[in-house]
Amino acid sequence: MQRRDINELIVRAKRRDKDAFTELINRHMQDMYKVALAILMNDEDVADAIQETILNCWEKIDTLKVNKYFKTWLTKILMNNCYDIIRKKQNQVELNNWEEPTYEDDCNLELKEALGKLEEKYRAIIIMFYWQGYSLEEISRVLNIPTNTVKTRLKRGREHLARYYEIVE
């Protein structure tokens, strides 16, 4: 994606151009899915979080102050919606603590299983860093935590994955 092209879409979306907003969301849909799945580990909840995020973004697009941070802004809204879903589910009686993701993509199933064993605080950072290409500073802004905390969690997440693969093999 070219930054200039994205910026133009954002400007148009702020003027309530539905086509421009739709194009922006479509360009980020796969990234949104991966982040939400890393947190929620359930396709139905992921769909709910993404739907709520799209609605929130449309309603609040004019509050975006710096256009170049659109993806960060979008991801932060998505993550907050994911955490809201988790909080709501914690208040309900659950039959299962975890459901196997049903979406089959190019990811290795063993890797999905390993990521599922990680605490969410490590899983989200690993997905954002390695699959989404976020920098440490961007992750820090999205999660509203210090950059050094991001580095520590990334390191610990890698260590947990390494131990998981040692046990499996």
CATH number of 160's domain:
1.10.10.10
Q: In whole numbers, what is the pLDDT of the chain averaged over residues?
A: 84
Give the DSSP per-residue string, 62-125: GG---GGGHHHHHHHHHHHHHHHHHHHHHTS--S-S--------SS-HHHHHHHHHS-HHHHHH
The answer to whether residues 135 and 69 belong to one domain is no
Distance CA 123, CA 95 (A): 23
Sole residue written with tokens 């919606």? 81
Distance CA 118, CA 155 (A): 13
The answer to whether residues 27 and 100 belong to one domain is yes
**What is each CA distance from 161 to 37, 72, 118, 122, 165, in whole angstroms?**
18, 26, 8, 10, 6
Q: Which domain holds residue 159?
A: 106-169
The answer to whether residues 137 and 157 belong to one domain is yes
The answer to whether residues 51 and 123 belong to one domain is no
The answer to whether residues 70 and 42 belong to one domain is yes
- Cα dihedral sign for 115, 145, 21, 6? negative
Q: Which of 51, 76, 105 is the last residue of a domain?
A: 105
The answer to whether residues 10 and 77 belong to one domain is yes
Q: Does pLDDT of 1 surpass 70?
A: no
The answer to whether residues 47 and 120 belong to one domain is no
pLDDT grade for 13, boundaries at 50, 70 and 90: very high
The answer to whether residues 101 and 128 belong to one domain is no
Amino acid symbol at 12: R
Q: Which of 72, 88, 105 is the last residue of a domain?
A: 105
The pLDDT tens digits of the residues spanning 97-149 come to 444 444 444 456 677 777 878 888 898 898 888 878 889 998 888 888 999 99
Please check whether residue 142 is in contact with residue 79, taking contact to mean a CB–CB distance below 8 angstroms: yes
The answer to whether residues 70 and 118 belong to one domain is no
Distance CA 14, CA 50 (A): 20
CATH number of 39's domain:
1.10.1740.10
pLDDT grade for 74, boundaries at 50, 70 and 90: very high
Q: How many residues in total does the chain contain? A: 169
Count of domains for the chain: 2
The answer to whether residues 112 and 169 belong to one domain is yes
The answer to whether residues 14 and 87 belong to one domain is yes
